[in-house]
Structure 1
Amino acid sequence: MRSSGEAEGLDGEASNTAMVSGASSPYQPTTEPVLSRSVFRSLSWNTHYLTSQLGILKIVEAVLSLIAFICIETVMMCSPCAGVYLFEFVSCSSFVVTGLLLLLFILNLHSNLTQINWRLVDLTNAACSTIFYFIASVVLAALNHKSGAEIAAVIFGFVVMLVYGVNTGVCVRQWRLGDQRPVQTSEYTRARTASRSEVETRPE
Structure 2
Amino acid sequence: MADPGFPGQHTTTTTMTSNTTIQTNTRFDPSYIRTWHGILKCAQIVLNLLGFICIEVSGFSFHSRGSYFIFVSMTGFWFTALLLLFYLFHLIEKFYKIPWLKIELVFCALWTLMYLIAACLAATFGVEAYSVAAFFGFCAMVVYGGDAFLKFRAVKGGQLAQGERVINKETTTTARSPAY
Q: Is this a same-fold pair by TM over 0.5?
A: yes
The answer to whether the 8 A contact 2:61-2:67 is kept is no
Q: Mapping of 1:70-85 within 5 angstroms?
A: 70-77=53-60, 81-85=63-67
What is aligned with 1:21? Answer: none
* Cα 1:78–1:45 shift into 2, 3 Å: closer
Q: Which residue of 2 aligns with 1:130?
A: 112
Partner of 1:172: 152
Note if contact 2:57-2:129 (Cα within 8 Å) is conserved in structure 1. Answer: yes
Taking structure 2 as the reference length, what is the TM-score of the superposition?
Answer: 0.71
Structural mapping, 1:1-204, within 5 Å: 42-77=25-60, 81-142=63-124, 144=125, 146-178=126-158
Secondary structure of 1:178's counterpart equals coil
SS at structure 2 position matched to 1:89:
helix
Q: Give the length in aligned residue pairs.
A: 143
- The answer to whether the 8 A contact 2:60-2:66 is kept is no
Runs of 4+ in 1 over 3 A off after TM superposition: none
* Counterpart amino acid of residue 178 in structure 1: G
Q: Tell me the secondary structure at the aligned position of residue 111 of structure 2.
A: helix
Q: Distance in 2 between matches of 1:156 and 1:170?
A: 21
- Give the AA of the match of 2:102: L
State the percentage of identical aligned residues.
31
**1:65 partner letter:** N
The structure with the largest strand share of the pair is 2
Q: Distance in 1 between matches of 2:47 and 2:78?
A: 12
The TM-score with structure 1 as length reference comes to 0.64
* TM-fit CA distance, 1:77: 3.1
Distance 1:148 1:176, change over 3 A: same
Give 1:175 shift. 1.5
Task: Give the Cα separation in 2 of the matches to 1:128 and 1:136.
Answer: 12
User: Highest CA radius of gyration, 1 or 2?
Assistant: 1
How big is the shift at 1:78?
6.4
What CA RMSD, in Å, does the superposition of the two structures yield over aligned residues? 2.3
Question: SS of 2:158's equivalent?
Answer: helix
Partner of 1:3: none
Query: Alpha-carbon deviation of 1:112?
Result: 2.2
